Chains A and B, each alone.
Chain A
Amino acid sequence: MKINDVILRTVTKAVVFIILTLGVYLFFAGHHAPGGGFIGGLVLASGIVLLYLAYDIETVHKGMPFDFKKMAALGVLLATGTAIGSLFFDVPFLTQAHTYIEVPIFGKMGFSTVTIFEAGVALTVVGVVVTIILSISEDE
Chain B
Amino acid sequence: MVTVLIAILFPFVCAALIPLLYRRLRRVTHLGWFVLAVPFILFLLLARYIPQIAEGKTFIHTYEWIPSFNINFTTYLDGLSMIFGLLITGVGSLVILYSIFYLSTKESLHHFYCYLLLFMGAMLGVVFSDNLMVLYTFWELTSVSSFLLIAFWHHRKASRAGARKAMTITVFGGLSMLAGFLMLFVASGSFSIREIIANVEVIRDHTLFTPALILILIGAFTKSAQFPFHIWLPDAMEAPTPVSAYLHSATMVKAGIYLVARFSPVFGGEAIWFWLVSVIGLATLFWGSFNAVRQTDLKALLAFSTISQLGLIMSLFGLGSVGHYYGYAENTILYTQASFAALFHLVNHSTFKGALFMMVGIVDHEVGTRDIRRLGGLMALMPVTFTIAVIGGFSMAGLPPFNGFLSKEMFFAAMLAIRNVEAFSITDVGLLFPIIAWVASIFTFVYSFILISRTFFGKLQPDKIDKKPHEAPIGMLISPIILSILVVGIFFFPNMLGHYILEPAMASIYPTFPSTSELTPHIHAWHGINAELLMTLGVIIIGAILFKTLKSWKPLYRIFSQKYTFNTYYNRLIEMSENGSAKLTNRYMTGHLTHYFIYIYVFFVALIAGYFIWSDAIVFDFAKDSTVESYELILVFVMVFAAIWMIFAKGRVTAMLLNGVLGYSIAFFFVIFRAPDLALTQLVVESVTTALFLLCFKYLPDLMPESAHKKIQWSNATISILVGATVTLIGLAVVHFDRFEPVSTYFNDAYELAGGSNIVNTILGDFRAFDTMLEVVVLLIAGLGVYTLTKLKPRKEKTDHEN
Q: Residues of A with Cβ closer than 8 Å to B?
A: 26, 30-39, 42-43, 45-46, 49, 53, 69, 72-73, 75-76, 79-80, 83, 93-94, 96, 98, 110, 112, 114, 117-118, 120-121, 124-125, 127-129, 131-133, 135-139
Contact = CB atoms under 8 A, between A and B. Distances in A.
A33 B757 CA distance: 7
A26 B761 contact: no
Sort chain B's interface into a size bin: 35 or more
B364 to A, nearest CB: 44
A31 B754 CA distance: 10
A53 to B, nearest CB: 7
Contacts of A31: 755-758, 761
A69 B784 CA distance: 8
A121 B776 contact: yes
B780 A75 contact: yes
Nearest to B789: A135
B684 interface: yes
B773 A36 contact: no
Contacts of B782: 128, 132
Given A98-B756, A135-B791, A136-B692, 19 more contacts: A32-B756, A34-B677, A37-B764, A38-B681, A39-B681, A42-B684, A72-B783, A72-B784, A79-B772, A79-B773, A83-B770, A110-B755, A114-B754, A114-B755, A114-B766, A131-B786, A133-B691, A133-B695, A139-B790
A133 B650 CA distance: 26
B681 A42 contact: yes
B779 interface: yes
Interface in B679-727: 680-681, 684-685, 687-688, 691-692, 695-696, 699
A124 B787 contact: no
A132 to B, nearest CB: 5
Nearest to A115: B765
Given A80-B773, A83-B769, A45 B790 contact: no
A138 B791 CA distance: 9
Contacts of A110: 755
30 contacts: A30-B761, A31-B756, A31-B757, A32-B756, A32-B758, A33-B758, A35-B677, A35-B680, A37-B764, A39-B681, A49-B688, A69-B784, A72-B784, A73-B780, A76-B776, A83-B769, A94-B770, A96-B766, A114-B754, A114-B755, A120-B776, A121-B772, A124-B776, A127-B780, A128-B780, A132-B782, A132-B783, A136-B786, A139-B699, A139-B791
A136 B790 contact: yes
Given A42-B688, A83-B769, A136-B692, A131 B681 contact: no
B676 interface: yes
B163 to A, nearest CB: 30
B790 A127 contact: no
B692 A132 contact: yes
B777 interface: yes
Contact of B765 (A33, A53, A96, A132): A96
B54 interface: no
B786 A34 contact: no
B760 interface: yes
Nearest to B788: A135
Greatest chain B CB density within 10 A among A39, A49, A133 is at: A39
A94 B762 CA distance: 13
A101 to B, nearest CB: 13
Interface of B: 676-677, 680-681, 684-685, 687-688, 691-692, 695-696, 699, 754-758, 760-761, 764-766, 769-770, 772-773, 776-777, 779-780, 782-784, 786-787, 790-791
A40 B20 CA distance: 37
Contacts of A79: 772-773, 776-777
A83 B764 CA distance: 13
Contacts of B758: 30-36
Contact of B764 (A36, A75, A125): A36
Contacts of B684: 39, 42-43, 46
Contacts of A53: 691
Contacts of B779: 72, 124-125, 128
Contacts of A42: 681, 684-685, 688
A138 B754 CA distance: 43
Given A32-B757, A35-B761, A135 B769 contact: no
Contact of A132 (B699, B766, B787): B787
B761 A124 contact: no
A37 B765 contact: yes
**Closest 8 A-B residue pairs measured CB to CB?**
A128-B783, A98-B755, A42-B684, A34-B676, A114-B765, A31-B756, A36-B761, A32-B757
A95 B780 CA distance: 23
B688 to A, nearest CB: 5
A96 B787 contact: no
Contacts of B790: 135-136, 138-139
Contact of B787 (A37, A69, A137): A69
A96 B754 contact: yes
A120 B791 CA distance: 25
Contacts of A112: 755-756
B765 A39 contact: no
Contacts of A136: 692, 695-696, 786, 790
B757 A38 contact: no
A130 B518 CA distance: 75
A10 to B, nearest CB: 19
Contacts of B756: 30-32, 98, 112, 114
Greatest chain A CB density within 10 A among B680, B783, B791 is at: B783
Contacts of B772: 79, 117, 121
B663 to A, nearest CB: 14
B68 to A, nearest CB: 10
Contacts of B764: 36-38, 121
A76 B782 CA distance: 13
A36 B783 contact: no
B691 A131 contact: no
A110 B688 CA distance: 32
B789 to A, nearest CB: 8
Contacts of B787: 69, 131-132, 135
B786 A135 contact: yes
A80 B677 CA distance: 24
Nearest to A110: B755
B36 to A, nearest CB: 32
